[in-house]
Structure 1
Amino acid sequence: MKRLSELGLVPHWVSPRHRVDSAVILVEGHRARALGVLEGYRLVGLVTRLELATASKDAYVETVMSPARFVAEATWSVRKLAGYMSENGLDLVPVVEGDRFLGIVSATDLLEELGRSYDPLTGLAWSDELRQWGVESLKAGTELTVIFCDLDEFGEYNKRYGHVIGDRVLVQVAAFLQSYVDPARDLLVRYGGDEFVFATLRPRPEAVQLAEEFQSGLLLHDVPTESGSLMSVGIAGGRRTVERENVHFMATLDNLINTASRESTLKKREKAQAARPSAQLEGEAQTPGATPAPIPTAKAPMAVVEVHADDTQVHGLTTVILSRGDALISGVQSRSGRSAVESIALATAKALDRAFPGVRVVVKDVRLIERPGGTRIVEVVGTATHSGVESEISGTCEAGADVFRAVAQATLQSVLDLLG
């Protein structure tokens, strides 16, 4: 949520020894409802358009002005001041930063700002409040975890049942997630059309448990629902190491959001792929004369699609996505104090275990070898158990400009060489 200092206030003011006719010119010229009255740089009161209109033009401002009933500090949030003004029946409040007068805000100004910062459908804040809250938490050195919640197939749901029913779903999802919010350590925002972000200062194990409950516990009422999961959830964050000097906290927060978003998208893809074969068996995706999509075999080409390693946190997550034919297979590994390259190799091994259920891959070492001429080679060594037989494996890849991707490629190659 924005602070008052971010509202772009303009300090329209007069001296108490100015005449009323001069103050009227300022009010009319700036279309202001009131002016601050300053003695030097010190705010001593307010004079409103109504007070000026009913006073003699030859009178001095000090004879018609009113003392400020309340003065707000620039560090206050828009929401905090709006609540205070509502509770105390205030329509105009001057804002100061230390001893400096910044301007005057009205209740109407705050309502317009709140309308921009809050989603009127769900009552949740938009992402601007997440960014302010998250950056402040990171600056304080607290543990921050982002849980990204993305509704499954919501676009198709809207097409099938209409936006009125879709809006009901969004309201119920918001209420469900809001029921878990502890205001002292959590913030929930609507991030996009069918996306919500739950940011928390809870310890990571507790945040992981929350994410699992979000995915499994969502129930909708009085709206049509499809069978299966309703929401995909991704998570990123946890206990941080000491920040690098001059760290850009906003970039760190963006990294957390993007990592959690990618994980939720990946889970959504995997659900869609898992559902595709059963849909074809039931005849839902077939048309007369159409040939069913082939199921990838052990000989289907494999490649590294994406590598993401969060190297800013002790327990950051590493994700590797492989393609096998038309299918995508992912592996996720917590760093747990390991180096980034080691966690990439382990994440790739997990993806390979899923791609080949009969193979168990164990990574023992990752080496970066300098060759004559400055060429760098990544070598991954380990073992793979295949058909009950354990074999030593080794794969290499030229590092080039992307060492992380080369580590994943070398791990993949070590298993492909074994399987032939």
Structure 2
Amino acid sequence: MTTLREIMTPEVITVTPLDSVAKAESLMRHYHFGGLPVVENGTLIGIITSRDIRGSNVNRLVIDVMTKNPVTAHPDVSLWLAKELMEKNLIERLPVIENNIIVGMVTKNTLYTTLAKYTDTLTDLPKAEYLFQEAIDFLRQDQEIAIMFLDLDDFGCINKEVGHEIGNYCLCKVAALLKAVVPEKACLCRYAGDEFVLILPGNNVEAQVLAYRLSEAIASIKLPGAKLSASIGIAGGRRSSIRINDLRDMVSDLVNLASLASTRAKRENKQVVVANGWQVVEN
């Protein structure tokens, strides 16, 4: 899991509440920063940004113009949670706090640049790293989850028979359909090649209903010279038979079970197969 600790700037330039706005402005200009944390007796009490300074008398004190009670995050917070925090609070900079001490800063630009590495450029869907983080977050909240592994059938033949451009077009059409159909609470990613994975809070029965709906919707996609279908495997629940304290291993295990179920669905020409515990059973 990629966290703020890996991308934050650890050398933090700060000001005190009794410093002048002129000093804060000078520091921001010198270091090319858009904002500075305001620290008093080692504790973060605010943040002053170029927006706060704009139109203010430079002889005023920082405490008079700073933004109080700034939004902060722990260094072990995931990049995706940090993104949610910044977008929800409409902020450009996120102070990183550990043991009540500011240990770094993350800007929106740095965060978005890093997140772009985890986004599939063809479909604009997140890659697998995002899936693991979201699944772990669900499990930490003691939610039951279902993982759906969707594998397009004979996709290699489509590439060979009508070309990779049409193949890429197919992948984009499937991605767009999935984005439109899956519930808002679900997490969707392009796992690899012609494989997509969804995480749904809830049980396998609920996931199964959605799986059949997705299978029918994919089969109805009209494409030049190609016919699409998908084999879908599902695995999930609260797994207590494996290392429950290692949530990433737990998610990896569930993804593997869902993948095996998808393989069985493809082999037996079924739309959906559900994995039950350590066994893969027909449905």
Answer whether TM exceeds 0.5 for this pair: yes
What is the correspondence of 1:5-20 to structure 2 with a 5 Å cutoff? 7-16=7-16
Identity among equivalent pairs (%): 28
Partners of 2:72 and 2:94 within 8 A in 1: no
Q: Secondary structure at the match of 1:197?
A: strand
- 2: CA distance, partners of 1:241 / 1:108: 38
**Residue matched to 2:236:** 237
**Residue matched to 1:405:** none
Q: CA deviation at 1:259?
A: 1.4
- 1: CA distance, partners of 2:233 / 2:59: 64
Q: Does 1:316 align with 2:281?
A: no
The verdict on how the C-alpha distance between 1:264 and 1:67 changes in structure 2, with shifts beyond 3 A counting, is: same
Code of the residue aligned with 1:178 in structure 2: it is K
**Residue matched to 2:213:** 213
Partners of 2:233 and 2:261 within 8 A in 1: yes
Cα displacement string for residues 335-373 of structure 1 (whole angstroms, at most 9, x for unaligned residues): xxxxxxxxxxxxxxxxxxxxxxxxxxxxxxxxxxxxxxx
Q: Secondary structure at the match of 1:130?
A: helix
The verdict on how the C-alpha distance between 1:235 and 1:172 changes in structure 2, with shifts beyond 3 A counting, is: same
Q: CA deviation at 1:191?
A: 1.0
Q: 4+ residue stretches of structure 1 with deviation over 3 A?
A: 1-9, 17-28, 30-35, 44-52, 59-66, 90-99, 240-247, 266-271
Cα displacement string for residues 234-291 of structure 1 (whole angstroms, at most 9, x for unaligned residues): 12223x36466763221111111011112223443455xxxxxxxxxxxxxxxxxxxx
Q: CA deviation at 1:5?
A: 5.5
Code of the residue aligned with 2:105 in structure 1: it is I
> Larger strand proportion, structure 1 or 2?
1
Alignment gaps of 5+ in structure 1: 53-58, 272-309, 320-331, 335-420
Q: Secondary structure at the match of 2:105?
A: strand
Cα displacement string for residues 364-398 of structure 1 (whole angstroms, at most 9, x for unaligned residues): xxxxxxxxxxxxxxxxxxxxxxxxxxxxxxxxxxx
**Residue matched to 2:71:** 72
Q: Does 1:161 align with 2:162?
A: yes
Give the RMSD, CA atoms, in angstroms. 3.9
Code of the residue aligned with 1:72 in structure 2: it is V
What is the correspondence of 1:261-340 to structure 2 with a 5 Å cutoff? 261-269=259-267, 315-319=276-280, 332=281
**Residue matched to 2:85:** 81
Cα displacement string for residues 49-79 of structure 1 (whole angstroms, at most 9, x for unaligned residues): 9999xxxxxx999569951367223158133
The verdict on how the C-alpha distance between 1:317 and 1:102 changes in structure 2, with shifts beyond 3 A counting, is: same
Partners of 1:93 and 1:106 within 8 A in 2: yes
Q: CA deviation at 1:110?
A: 2.8
Q: Secondary structure at the match of 2:209?
A: helix
Q: CA deviation at 1:7?
A: 3.6
Partners of 1:317 and 1:333 within 8 A in 2: no
- 2: CA distance, partners of 1:318 / 1:246: 19
Q: CA deviation at 1:138?
A: 2.5
- 2: CA distance, partners of 1:216 / 1:46: 52
TM-score (norm 2): 0.74
The verdict on how the C-alpha distance between 1:51 and 1:78 changes in structure 2, with shifts beyond 3 A counting, is: closer
The verdict on how the C-alpha distance between 1:31 and 1:65 changes in structure 2, with shifts beyond 3 A counting, is: farther
- 2: CA distance, partners of 1:7 / 1:129: 16
Q: CA deviation at 1:27?
A: 8.0
Partners of 2:127 and 2:191 within 8 A in 1: yes
Q: CA deviation at 1:189?
A: 1.3
Code of the residue aligned with 2:88 in structure 1: it is Y
- 1: CA distance, partners of 2:145 / 2:209: 15
Q: Secondary structure at the match of 2:187?
A: strand
Partners of 2:170 and 2:223 within 8 A in 1: no
- 2: CA distance, partners of 1:166 / 1:69: 52
Q: Secondary structure at the match of 1:205?
A: helix
Q: Point out the structure with max Rg over C-alpha.
A: 1
Partners of 1:68 and 1:94 within 8 A in 2: no
Q: How many correspondences in the alignment? A: 266
Code of the residue aligned with 2:200 in structure 1: it is T
Q: Secondary structure at the match of 2:235?
A: strand
Cα displacement string for residues 83-122 of structure 1 (whole angstroms, at most 9, x for unaligned residues): 236xx4x444434457332433323223213322333433
Cα displacement string for residues 282-325 of structure 1 (whole angstroms, at most 9, x for unaligned residues): xxxxxxxxxxxxxxxxxxxxxxxxxxxx8xxxx41524xxxxxx
Q: Does 1:180 align with 2:191?
A: no
Q: CA deviation at 1:173?
A: 1.0
- 1: CA distance, partners of 2:43 / 2:134: 32
- 2: CA distance, partners of 1:94 / 1:195: 37
Alignment gaps of 5+ in structure 2: 270-274
Q: Secondary structure at the match of 1:125?
A: coil
Code of the residue aligned with 1:212 in structure 2: it is Y
The verdict on how the C-alpha distance between 1:125 and 1:197 changes in structure 2, with shifts beyond 3 A counting, is: same
